[in-house]
Structure 1
Amino acid sequence: MQEKYSGSHPNIWYPFTPIKGAPTPLKVTSGNGAWIELAGGKQLLDLISSWWVNVLGHARPEIADAIHGQAKCLEHVIFAGFTHEPAEKLAETLAGKLPGRLNRVFYSDNGSSAVEIAIKQAWQYWANLGEKRESFICFDHGYHGDTFGAMSVSARSLFTDVYKELLFPVESVPYPVTWRGDDEIQEKEAAALGRLTQLLEQNPKRYAAIIIEPLVQGAGGMRMCRPEFLQALRRLSHEHDTLLIFDEVMTGFGRTGAWFACERAGIEPDVIALAKGLTGGFLPLAATVCSDSVYEAFASADPAKTLFHGHSYTANPLGCAAANATLKLLEQNEYAFKNLEQEHIEHLAKLEDHPKLDKIRVTGTIAAMDIKTADRPGYLNQVSAIIKRKAFEQGLLLRPLGNVLYLMPPYCITRDELAQAYRGIAAILDEL
């Protein structure tokens, strides 16, 4: 007989969850707008967009209808040697929304894969040009996914430690994190840019690319930087002939208050990785989009210059249909993600002097704050479990990153619902 732990299902291995000692998983029966409903009828206000994917809320009928219509026509077809209208339409829309010459769309299934493809494109770009570049530059506390390439360019952490012998070496530089009232940001940016300059000048032909989560590092603790830093980073990468990869798996599709973080920063990376919000949370789909100049390095009849990468479900028509419906809804509701930042700021102003809070910050639809505790800061800080339990009692779905409490609600959240969320957070803080 199989052993059952913590009330979990006897046949399921849950992600990011200790097998012993974890709370019993909550069974969800339905979702509607910013809310999910559990077995038994309790409702929770989803303030994390269910791992940051449900940008438009749950059970949007327009997306469901698009999937249903596509399923009656074509559910899937191999994407090597074939094409179809949903994938072509989506690629055209993405190219039209992205800045500059980010025009070449390579489809995959999830954020880790989108980053993995970006890494492979950058590495092979130089190989196809006859150069051997040996490494990448990444940033402290960065997180880019759970495949081996994505882990290699992520910060060494609890997520990667057991696999460290299998990861390729990279160089890491400080991420100039900032928050409301930070008066040392220019010094932090100068230090990061100084270290970058040093690496690029000492080894001018070593690095295939610099990879960064622009404006907001997600799983690393909702750490935020300024557009000015990204602009300086772009200048450096140009000056030293190194590709720049933006991992916008989390920050894309309105999260930073603009369609993309690169748009808000006013710059164009060479490669961008997209996923999460692309289908509004309905189906797995990702895209790695590169510039025309990167693409041209692969434009050859020589098989050795082919990007040999693919997935069985590459450009799945159902996923593309969901994405097309999602992008159409985002176009119709731009005000929703463009106005959330100001609403966050109004609520956060009331919490700025709370004795339990530090480093309050906001970028677009994302608000975050550090909880002061006696425990060591970081992902394993036990205040996370306390907040999750108290949030459940308040009817809120929150999932802190250790001692970092954040809100990343779906754009359909109403002013009253957001006010309800902040009242609940204030009550939780008062009880800590």
Structure 2
Amino acid sequence: MSLLFKHLRVHQVFGANTDVGKTILTTALVRASAAQRDKVFYLKPVSTGPPQDADDAHVTSHMAKWKDRVQTHCLFRFQEPVSPHLAVKRAGASHSIPDDDTLANTIAAYVRRAASQCGPAHMYIETAGGVQSPTLSGVLQADLYRRLFLPAILVGDSKLGGISTTISAYESLLLRGYDVDAILLFEDDYYRNFEYLHDYFKERNVDVFTTQPPPPKLAAAAENFAATEKYYADITSSDHHRGVTAALEHLDTIHNQRISYLGSMATRARDTIWWPFVQHGHVKTDHDVNVIHSAYSDFFSVYNPSHRANHAANNDSSTANPSPSLLNPQYDGSASWWTQALGHAHPSLTLAAARVSGRYGHVMFPQATHAPALQLAETLVHDGPGRGWASKAFFSDDGSTGMEVAIKMALRFYTKAIEPGLPVEAWKQLGILGLKGSYHGDTIGTMDACEEGVYTCEWHNAKGYWFEPPTVSVQDGQATIALPSSFSVNTLLSPANYGFDSLGSIYDVESRLETPLAKVYRDHLTSKLKALHDAGGPRLAALVLEPLVMGAGGMIFVDPLFQRVMVEVVKAGAPGISKGLPVIFDEVFVGLYRLGMESTAPLLGVKPDISVHAKILTGGLLPLAITLASQPIFEAFLGDSKASALLHGHSYTAHPIGCEVANETLSIIRNTVSSDSWIEARKKWQADADRVSSVFSLWDPSFVKALSRLPQVKEVMTLGTVLALKISDGDSGYVSMSAQATFQSLKQLNDDPNAQSVAPGGAPYNVHYRTLGDIAYFMTSLNTSPGVIRSMEERIWSALEDNTP
């Protein structure tokens, strides 16, 4: 991840193309730095070609005056003077080839080692070829080095066509989030690219620095060296206001500004921001604010709280052991509120957003269409979670509004198709049938569809009835179903907890339909509904479920058999329930493989009339929601009057950027769920990919069982990417602080020197996590590497060991 030191300014030097003078200008920067600093580092991660012609050799040869100050180094060297990916192929078995992570981690380790050994210093890391040149593995440089996310210097192209290549290279870096601190290039008097580029980038607040080109290469080696040496002396001693020395001053200024800005963010945020789901009375100091500098893969890069108070103290240039990086990796333990599917800053999603932004921006959608929206709708209806039952897709902006739409659809269907003679004055009193612990969002309509609870507000008006559900968990190593106290359990089924030989057997719903427990569920549902009806309870117009897991309510894993029976009872009709009541599946959290399956409907064995999808839909990049509906639901809004249409929408309905990102996300997910890591996870859980009832988790089954046996863990549960633990504590519910306190040590860096970090760049990392009272949960992306998950398992285990009673 990002590395930022107060005393060591580090820049990565990219070239707009090959042969643009990248090494010459980097050498000039190194010399200019050496005249000002006690130490300067030059690193060439990958070099191709004979050693005597290598870039690091050139830098070294022109540093005789400062040989004690300048340290040059090359990490991986190949003899063939070709692109690194081709040099690897030609080297064959004679070379041990590092993978992308190893290359990035080796660079980061070099930077950290240099930072620990120097006072005020500069470092330049020179890439190979152009911005988009392939690295050893074939991955583009801009993508591989993104995991390091160092500030960039771009060497522009002064030759014919160089305006285009320079701007294209800059935009390639910009699309990946890089900070391009400066552009350097030669002053070619014929093409004069520098004039145009200076004006072009001035409008974009990027400084361009220029210097004279090097002299022509001379045939005699000694004469050529002398001429080159004189050239470097001239351009690094010049006081030209746009030259190398000016660039050096600018880079130092930007470096200091970056540190100052990060240091001020926490205070400024506390002064101006009102955070969601945060009790500001607990945000007492700047240390309580998580300042996120950037994000990549499963990790944030955060401003290290331990350095906020002591920057001034560490400003002593004579210090022998300067501070570590002001930034450290932090595992995104909640998948950024359950949105992350493919990791942060995924380049394919960024390019998809840019592609459609450049084509459309946003366009008006009612009675119109565009390719991204049409493709997404067809995919979700015909080839995705709506396959076999949905006929229409309605676009909105997030999960809560998607559920608002779903409830509107269901209630209209009820008044048109289920009870068409119902007086209009009774429509506003229609209620929702659901489960205790439900949460469907924070808009008023979705709050009204849940019982009163911690998420509701002063003007909330709960409309409906909510059953307390049986739950699934692993307790003391055994898959278990627990019945709530509200159930009247007959003597055949006593006690209230039921053990199973595996989670798979619990989720094999079809095989459980004729069991005694299924009958208990049916009897319980019908008797409660009858009692509600006899007592004059609300008129129930729709069943709304979070299938399998109720997320915000406390990661409540509901017995799938109970939800299956619930749908069947509602569809068949029961006391106080009209036959054919519409069923809504809120799959905002659980859908699109968050639990290891595209949709929960096949596992439950019943199809909804309406379902809602968001969060993973766009890979965590931007908001978008889709409400899928069956044809009968759609037809309830058909008519001659506009008043009978679905009059719901917002200005950015089906915004093309969100739709295209969703299309790209779904395409990548299709490959991800058939990857080797998913196949291996299924094997560990003995799950059959061809059976809809065959469940599994990316978390290791042995780890899950071991957790469930710890005395401080009441129960644990996992499906797909989700791991949830209930802490054994006297306090329970959302307001409990037990889970937060138990995992407090995760906020500390894993700075054990023997621990191998899995964070990008190989740095020690800590964990950002959120709790739901006595429930702690952790989540991965769909493509989180097994190595990262195993590392997180070790961190979780250590945190629990630290809290052993």
Instruction: Identify if the C-alpha distance between structure 1 residues 26 and 131 changes in structure 2 by more than 3 Å, giving closer, same or farther.
Output: farther
Q: Which residue of 1 aligns with 2:468?
A: 174
3-state SS of paired residue (1:362): strand
Q: Does 1:141 align with 2:470?
A: no
Equivalent of 1:11, from 272, 285, 307? Answer: 272
Matched to 1:26, the amino acid is N
Once the two structures are superposed, the pairs formed by residues 26-425 of structure 1 within 5 Å of their partners are 26-39=290-303, 40-95=326-381, 96-98=383-385, 99-129=387-417, 130-132=420-422, 134-160=430-456, 162-163=457-458, 165-180=459-474, 181=478, 182=480, 184=482, 193-198=522-527, 200=529, 203=533, 206-240=539-573, 241-335=580-674, 339=681, 341=697, 343-374=699-730, 376-387=731-742, 389-393=744-748, 394=750, 395-425=766-796
3-state SS of paired residue (2:702): helix
CA distance in 2, matches of 1:150, 1:64: 32
Q: How many residues align?
A: 426
User: Sequence identity of aligned pairs in percent?
Assistant: 28
Is contact 1:136–1:207 with CA below 8 Å preserved after alignment? yes
Displacement after TM superposition at 1:190 (Å): 5.7
Is contact 1:387–1:398 with CA below 8 Å preserved after alignment? no
Is contact 2:725–2:777 with CA below 8 Å preserved after alignment? yes
Matched to 1:100, the amino acid is G
Is contact 1:5–1:19 with CA below 8 Å preserved after alignment? no
3-state SS of paired residue (2:772): coil
Matched to 1:208, the amino acid is A
Q: Which residue of 1 aligns with 2:755?
A: none
CA distance in 2, matches of 1:349, 1:369: 12
Matched to 1:249, the amino acid is V
Q: CA RMSD in A?
A: 2.4
3-state SS of paired residue (1:323): helix
Q: Which residue of 1 aligns with 2:54?
A: none
CA distance in 2, matches of 1:143, 1:61: 33
Instruction: Identify if the C-alpha distance between structure 1 residues 370 and 74 changes in structure 2 by more than 3 Å, giving closer, same or farther.
Output: same
Matched to 2:374, the amino acid is E
**Which whole-Å deviations, capped at 9, do the CAs of 1:253-303 have from their partners, x for residues lacking one?**
101111112233232111111111110011110011111121122122222
Instruction: Identify if the C-alpha distance between structure 1 residues 225 and 100 changes in structure 2 by more than 3 Å, giving closer, same or farther.
Output: same
Instruction: Identify if the C-alpha distance between structure 1 residues 264 and 365 changes in structure 2 by more than 3 Å, giving closer, same or farther.
Output: farther
Is contact 2:298–2:343 with CA below 8 Å preserved after alignment? yes
CA distance in 1, matches of 2:334, 2:725: 14
CA distance in 2, matches of 1:237, 1:337: 36
Is contact 1:221–1:401 with CA below 8 Å preserved after alignment? yes
Shifted more, 123-132 versus 103-112: the winner is 123-132
CA distance in 2, matches of 1:264, 1:257: 11
Displacement after TM superposition at 1:107 (Å): 0.6
Query: More relative contact order in 1 or in 2 (CA 8 Å, sep 6+)?
Result: 1
**Structure 2, unpaired ranges of 5+:** 1-264, 304-325, 484-492, 497-516, 574-579, 682-695, 751-765
Displacement after TM superposition at 1:195 (Å): 4.4
Is contact 2:439–2:551 with CA below 8 Å preserved after alignment? yes
Displacement after TM superposition at 1:102 (Å): 1.4
Instruction: Identify if the C-alpha distance between structure 1 residues 379 and 19 changes in structure 2 by more than 3 Å, giving closer, same or farther.
Output: same
Matched to 1:357, the amino acid is V
**Which whole-Å deviations, capped at 9, do the CAs of 1:25-47 have from their partners, x for residues lacking one?**
21112211111111231101222
**Structure 1, unpaired ranges of 5+:** none
3-state SS of paired residue (2:276): coil
Is contact 1:47–1:410 with CA below 8 Å preserved after alignment? no
CA distance in 1, matches of 2:434, 2:552: 15
Larger radius of gyration: 2
Matched to 2:583, the amino acid is L
Instruction: Identify if the C-alpha distance between structure 1 residues 396 and 293 changes in structure 2 by more than 3 Å, giving closer, same or farther.
Output: same
Is contact 2:431–2:449 with CA below 8 Å preserved after alignment? no
**Which whole-Å deviations, capped at 9, do the CAs of 1:131-183 have from their partners, x for residues lacking one?**
436211111111111011111122321111x42x4414211111221212325
- TM-score, normalised to structure 2, is 0.51
CA distance in 1, matches of 2:564, 2:435: 16
Displacement after TM superposition at 1:9 (Å): 3.6
CA distance in 2, matches of 1:385, 1:184: 25
Displacement after TM superposition at 1:307 (Å): 1.1
**Which whole-Å deviations, capped at 9, do the CAs of 1:199-236 have from their partners, x for residues lacking one?**
55575993211111100010111111233223222212
Shifted more, 184-193 versus 135-144: the winner is 184-193
Is contact 1:104–1:295 with CA below 8 Å preserved after alignment? yes
Instruction: Identify if the C-alpha distance between structure 1 residues 131 and 57 changes in structure 2 by more than 3 Å, giving closer, same or farther.
Output: farther
3-state SS of paired residue (2:391): strand
3-state SS of paired residue (2:697): helix
Matched to 1:281, the amino acid is G
Displacement after TM superposition at 1:389 (Å): 3.4
CA distance in 1, matches of 2:347, 2:281: 38
Displacement after TM superposition at 1:353 (Å): 1.5
Is contact 2:673–2:782 with CA below 8 Å preserved after alignment? no
Is contact 2:414–2:582 with CA below 8 Å preserved after alignment? no
Matched to 1:111, the amino acid is G
3-state SS of paired residue (1:219): coil
